Structure 1
Amino acid sequence: MRNEPDGCVRVLAPTGMLGAGFPESTIEHGLELGADVISVDGGSTDSGPYYLGSSQPKTTRAAVARDLRVLLKAAARAGIPLIVGSCGTSGTDHGVDWVAGIVAEILSDEGLRLRVARIYSEQDADTLKERLASGHIHPLPPLGDLQPETIENCTHIVGMMGHEPIVAALEAGAQVVLAGRATDTAVAAAYPLMKGMPSGPTWHAAKIVECGGQCTSNPRAGGVLATIDADGFTIEPLDPAVSCTPILVAAHMLYETANPFQMREPDGTLDVREATYTALDDRTVRVEGSRFHVADQHTIKLEGARITGYETLSFSAVRDPHILANIEDWADLLRVMLTQRVEQTLGLSEDKYAFDVRLYGYNAVLKDLDPGQEAPREVGVMLLVNAPDQETATAVAKIANPLMLHLPTPDMDYLPSLAFATSPAEVERGPAYEFVLNHVVDSITPTDMFRIEIEETSHHG
């Protein structure tokens, strides 16, 4: 592992998420600039609870393998570590093993010898219930006190690690660290903190680079390089044709934060109220004045998902101008008619299933926050049914089928013909999940909730 120059650590962030892709030339440029570590986030909760609940990745294997092949070869050639956080999208144990399997294949194919660490972040329900009973689990807004049955009902629970388990793996000799669920920032902050860089600049730089090139003038062109030193940090894009500006860099503190000046990590809070952003040239920004306040109690955030039922989806489209002139009344009529026919046909009361009708092209996204002011030219009608089992969900959707195809308004003396997007119209989505944990647990130590395994992976050709 290469020794970085005295006084600074350079973090190469190739992309906002492993599998999203990046130009290979940007990685080469980052190595030329003296990168000391490559860090990349492998997951997120942005796409909803399914990926945690089912322990399935959002990204395709081919995309993850492509990115990993480039990064592993670069890290091996430069003698620097590669750190991947939140493997497999949600950071479950299966997600870590899934990414580790891809890494093992690539190392074998390329004839590379690298020590690989797996950090597992899934939590045992019985242990969490003991911690709950002893008063060491606390809710985060807007949720209230946690109940033991909520823990029991989760299909998967992960703890969101800070930098400490990653540092432990690096100090144990790992050259590739594959972490379970981790804060996006911990992935980039771990190596600089291990090398003695100050907490304020390190955590702030990690926040800015967490999404790769999002803090640049062209996020599609690749990632960034952060150079952290005793007084602050600099950010520059890996594509020489792209720029960072003070506004673009400062604005990233607005991204996914409740407070644009403060951000909580497991061991404390980043404070950028006194930070200054200065353009060093037309593409590089210098940041100074960031602070970090260590917390009295180290905490780990819990994420958990449970099955809420099974879903079936239908989607039809309306262009009839008479219906569109009264689209909300038509949607209300659809809801009433479907409820009545389900009770008549299946004998189900409204507490035995649920459905949602959304009008795309009219108010499906913001609903009453941005009501339509005039009749649209066309509207997509999405029906989403949730029931305790798939058969019931599909049966309800099939009862809706003729209504979504031919339902007239009360003043129409003919049956309109609407249009389904698919045949069959009913698409079974399988189990649906919801997030039910937004709580923190008091740590005994920063690493006690995580399990680290290190193996020597080598080419056997």
Structure 2
Amino acid sequence: MPTRVLVPSGVLGLGFDRTALARGVAMRPDIICIDGGSTDSGPFSLGAGQSKYSRAATKSEWRSLMQARAELGVPLVIGTAGTCGTDSTVDWMHDITVELAAELGQSLKIARLYCSQPVARIATAVQQGQVTPLTPAPELDLSNLSNIVALAGAEHIQAALNTGADIVIAGRTTDTATIAALPLARGDAAGGAWHGAKIAECGALCSTNPTSGVIMVDFDADGFTVEPMAETAACTPHSVSAHMLYENSDPFRLYEPGGHLDVTDARYTALDARRVRVEGSRWVPGPYTVKLEGARIGGYQTTIMAILRNAHYARNAQAWVDRLTGFLTGEIESRMGLTTADYTLEFRLIGVNGALGDLENRSGDPVEVGVLGIITARSQDEAAEIGKLINPFVLHYPLTDDEELPTFAFPYSPATTNRGALYEFALNHVLHLDDPMSAFRIELSQTDAKVPA
């Protein structure tokens, strides 16, 4: 019998096709697996230990999945709970689960897999030569880190499932670990288990209708078969094979705890208009390492926005910003006693080069340019004070000395916004483990069924 895994979406909180989910449930999968986040949106979630997704959206989607789990009587697993997978976001997801269990009248055994790492543990591992940098990696500095997580693998999810849990809420995991865990435990082909997990980890992104969300994967001793659950979606050899390049620099290899996947000899066959069969993937065992991610506060930010619509200034926006920056640097030093070693002031021209900088390919002059000023300083008070100091000049500063004083537009009042802490990634290393569970822990809880009010 194949191991059938239902993946409702690439991430909880992004949404999925409810009709497609129902179709997947009707096919009686052995487990439901979904991802809860990643580092795609930058270091803030990890640094702050917060989910980027709405609690209301998360709860609404998790309710549907908990109902599907109850109907099927199979485990429900989420990895990288709460975007970043810190202990705090595992607990956040656990609170939502307990709340829903009470509302739905469900009695549940819940396993929480915690992946946060104490600084002292990592410092000891560094001294023992058990931490190795990846490429690129920042200089190893463990001071002032707000959060460190280790990415759990299939072994950790298997350990949580072995408790008999109905629901597994895992901290930071590799994108594939939750999906590969059960097929590997059942003895399905290791290469196929990891490859199929990689293809399915973003839900219907491996299909012709990426936003439909829901994917079913059947794993067996020779490979896997993948099928989207939405009627408007189809998997093709191209859409499936191409997903090996998603968030992966090598189209043939994918590194995971304990080895790597090699799909050099994989064969992709269309079984029909919707399903693709894949065989020939290989799993190559290697040292057991888990990736480390860490974040720290890199300063505090205040932003200011002005709109240039006067054709003369829109056409010469970069020259205006260059002149303004030089002037403001002098004003900040003379009035606040700060040098550019104490803060940064950056202007981005929205509509000109705000996203790609010098790589922007633009023809013609813009009608309107948004000037976004980003101030980063040692404290929020200092960043806010710089924002107030530069405010009148961002509103009224001339391009040349011999022209009238211009007036621009602020899109909101007050013109400055305090953004709070700016976090930065501080680790891109791997931790070598003799025992996969030695840096992780599992805690169990039980909810008692009650009749909903």
TM-score, normalisation: structure 1: 0.95
CA contact (8 A) 2:348 2:354 kept: yes
Aligned residue for 1:448, secondary structure, equals: helix
CA contact (8 A) 1:109 1:459 kept: no
Q: Distance in 1 between matches of 2:138 and 2:63?
A: 44
Deviations 1:379-427 (A, max 9, x none): 1111110111111101111222122212221166112221112110100
Residue 53 of structure 2 is aligned to residue 59 of structure 1: yes
CA contact (8 A) 2:47 2:147 kept: yes
Q: Distance in 2 between matches of 1:284 and 1:349?
A: 62
* Letter paired with 2:21: I
Shift of 1:456: 2.0
* Letter paired with 1:127: R
Equivalent residue in structure 2 for 1:161, among 113, 129, 152: 152
Q: Distance in 1 between matches of 2:113 and 2:319?
A: 54
Q: Distance in 2 between matches of 1:247 and 1:419?
A: 49
CA contact (8 A) 2:138 2:428 kept: no
Q: RMSD of the TM alignment (CA)?
A: 1.3
CA contact (8 A) 2:17 2:214 kept: no
Percent of matched pairs sharing the same residue:
45
Q: Distance in 2 between matches of 1:374 and 1:226?
A: 49
Q: Distance in 1 between matches of 2:132 and 2:417?
A: 39
Which aligned segments of 4 or more residues in structure 1 are displaced greater than 6 angstroms?
A: none
CA contact (8 A) 1:120 1:179 kept: yes
Equivalent residue in structure 1 for 2:412, among 410, 419, 422: 422
Residue 243 of structure 2 is aligned to residue 248 of structure 1: no
Residue 325 of structure 2 is aligned to residue 331 of structure 1: no
Within a 5 Å distance, the mapping from 1:132-211 to structure 2 comes to: 132-143=126-137, 146=140, 150-211=141-202
Aligned residue for 2:35, secondary structure, equals: strand
Aligned residue for 1:401, secondary structure, equals: helix
Shift of 1:453: 0.9
- The farther-off stretch of 430-439 and 189-198 is 189-198
* Letter paired with 2:405: L
CA contact (8 A) 1:208 1:249 kept: yes
CA contact (8 A) 1:138 1:145 kept: no
Shift of 1:34: 2.5
* Letter paired with 1:113: S
Aligned residue for 2:354, secondary structure, equals: coil
Equivalent residue in structure 2 for 1:40, among 34, 45, 48: 34
Q: Distance in 1 between matches of 2:273 and 2:402?
A: 64
Within a 5 Å distance, the mapping from 1:211-290 to structure 2 comes to: 211-290=202-281
* Letter paired with 1:85: G
Deviations 1:64-103 (A, max 9, x none): 1111111111111111110100011100001000000110
- The farther-off stretch of 406-415 and 33-42 is 406-415
Shift of 1:375: 2.3
Residue 379 of structure 2 is aligned to residue 389 of structure 1: yes
Within a 5 Å distance, the mapping from 1:370-409 to structure 2 comes to: 370=360, 372-409=362-399
Shift of 1:309: 1.0
Q: Distance in 1 between matches of 2:271 and 2:176?
A: 24
Residue of structure 2 equivalent to 1:130: 124
- The farther-off stretch of 338-347 and 78-87 is 338-347
Residue of structure 1 equivalent to 2:433: 443
Residue of structure 1 equivalent to 2:92: 98
Q: Distance in 1 between matches of 2:246 and 2:411?
A: 35
The verdict on how the C-alpha distance between 1:412 and 1:261 changes in structure 2, with shifts beyond 3 A counting, is farther
Shift of 1:325: 2.1
Residue of structure 1 equivalent to 2:423: 433
Within a 5 Å distance, the mapping from 1:78-97 to structure 2 comes to: 78-97=72-91
* Letter paired with 1:318: L
Residue of structure 2 equivalent to 1:3: none
Shift of 1:442: 0.4
Q: Distance in 2 between matches of 1:26 and 1:113?
A: 26
Deviations 1:89-127 (A, max 9, x none): 100001000000110111111111221100000001111
* Letter paired with 2:201: E
Equivalent residue in structure 2 for 1:317, among 307, 311, 321: 307
Shift of 1:301: 0.7
Deviations 1:137-186 (A, max 9, x none): 0101112552xxx2231001000010111101111211210000000100
Q: Distance in 2 between matches of 1:127 and 1:152?
A: 13
CA contact (8 A) 1:246 1:278 kept: yes
Within a 5 Å distance, the mapping from 1:24-39 to structure 2 comes to: 24-39=18-33
* Letter paired with 2:50: Q
Residue of structure 2 equivalent to 1:455: 445
Aligned residue for 1:437, secondary structure, equals: strand
How many residues are treated as equivalent by the alignment?
Answer: 451
CA contact (8 A) 2:191 2:261 kept: yes
CA contact (8 A) 1:41 1:184 kept: yes
* Letter paired with 1:331: V
Shift of 1:339: 0.6
* Letter paired with 1:37: I
